[in-house]
Amino acid sequence: MTALHSPRIIDVPTLAERLRAGDRAALARAITLVESRKAEHQALARQLVQKLLPFTGTAMRVGVTGVPGVGKSTTIDTLGANLVAAGHKLAVLAVDPSSSRTGGSILGDKTRMTQLSVERNAFIRPSPSSGTLGGVAAKTRETMLLCEAAGFDVILVETVGIGQSETAVADMTDFFLVLMLPGAGDELQGIKKGVLELADMIAVNKSEGEGRNRAVLAAGEYRAALHIMQPASVHWSPPVVLISGLANAGLDEMWAQVVEHRRRFEVSGEGAKKRRDQQVKWMWTMLQERLFSRLRSDSTVRAMLPELEGQVAEGALSPTLAVEKIAAVLGL
């Protein structure tokens, strides 16, 4: 039996102290504790996060998303190597709602991040491989706090999935970067308006070589699309930049925009307000997850669900009344 499976010998103050000292083994153990589904581990994890909370909140939190094939892994790998070379400590985390079905792709991405995987000042961590998106997002948030307490000053949170995961990542980061491919004509038709509304910057990747002209045209299309939308902040209009993760082109300029965004939001106070709002959203997300966990674990509810689902499917029982029956069992 490993130490993690014996909660009585997990010394939270010592674990916190080792993590604060930069012990990577302690960080890995703390994250495993946070990701555990055992009730006793979750209680210890809450103690640990609360103890480390005063040492969090100073890192730059950047969300990164993009369609499959856009080159997220290559871009993050190259950008991350640049940041580490500049003296930063970088953590790369992932939110992958598809992981409960497929096992997720971030583990494969990790092996493709060849530069970061050997960097002492870089840390790559996939999201938990099961649970609802809310649960995965909550674990990623807590992992982010642990990394900050361990001294990582830049956190890149990658969304591997699509749709709701993008909103989840935007709700836990300060800056949301959307990577796009050249050839905007067809792609622009498939872009959800919600993604553009979340974007703090669009970076057209693979703009090197023969793709340069198409990238320039694509950038113009994206600028036009953003122009007709109301910016989320009066202090920031999302720029569109050209980059190449493969050729390490434009990444320094792109990161300069992230730094400028942070400066403006610190001066205006909007950054601190955004963090406060995110904390409240986090509270509600975790409460919903806790309530849903109780729903899943209640033996009486589990026993009655098949019959209720059958009645609802056949039209013999309205969904509203079915919910009332379940809520009555839970005392809600």
Q: What pLDDT digit, counting tens, does each position of 165-198 carry?
A: 788 888 899 999 999 988 755 555 456 667 888 8
Q: Are residues 312 and 189 in the same domain?
A: no
Q: Are residues 241 and 290 in the same domain?
A: no
Residues written for the chain: 332
- Asked, for residue 182, whether it belongs to a domain, the answer is yes
Pairing of strands 60-66, 154-159: parallel
pLDDT of residue 298: 85
- Asked, for residue 70, whether it belongs to a domain, the answer is yes
User: Where are the strands (E) in 173-252, listed by range?
Assistant: 175-180, 201-204, 240-242
pLDDT of residue 252: 96
Distance between CA atoms of residues 289 and 275, nearest Å: 21
Distance between CA atoms of residues 243 and 223, nearest Å: 15
How is residue 216 written in tokens? 């320039």
Q: Are residues 150 and 166 in the same domain?
A: yes
Low-confidence ranges of the chain (pLDDT < 70): 1-8, 96-111, 128-137, 161-164, 184-193
Q: Are residues 24 and 130 in the same domain?
A: no
Q: Are residues 143 and 13 in the same domain?
A: no
pLDDT of residue 105: 44
Distance between CA atoms of residues 204 and 173, nearest Å: 21
Among 125, 126, 72, residue whose Cα is nearest residue 102: 126
pLDDT of residue 104: 43
Q: Are residues 14 and 47 in the same domain?
A: yes
Q: Are residues 161 and 208 in the same domain?
A: yes
pTM: 0.84
Q: Are residues 260 and 326 in the same domain?
A: no
Q: Are residues 67 and 182 in the same domain?
A: yes
- Range of the structural domain that residue 8 is part of: 1-54
Number of domains in the chain: 3
Among 84, 19, 24, 87, residue whose Cα is nearest residue 53: 19
Residue 36, amino acid: S
pLDDT of residue 107: 47
pLDDT of residue 113: 85
Backbone angles phi, psi at 174, to 5 degrees: -90, -25
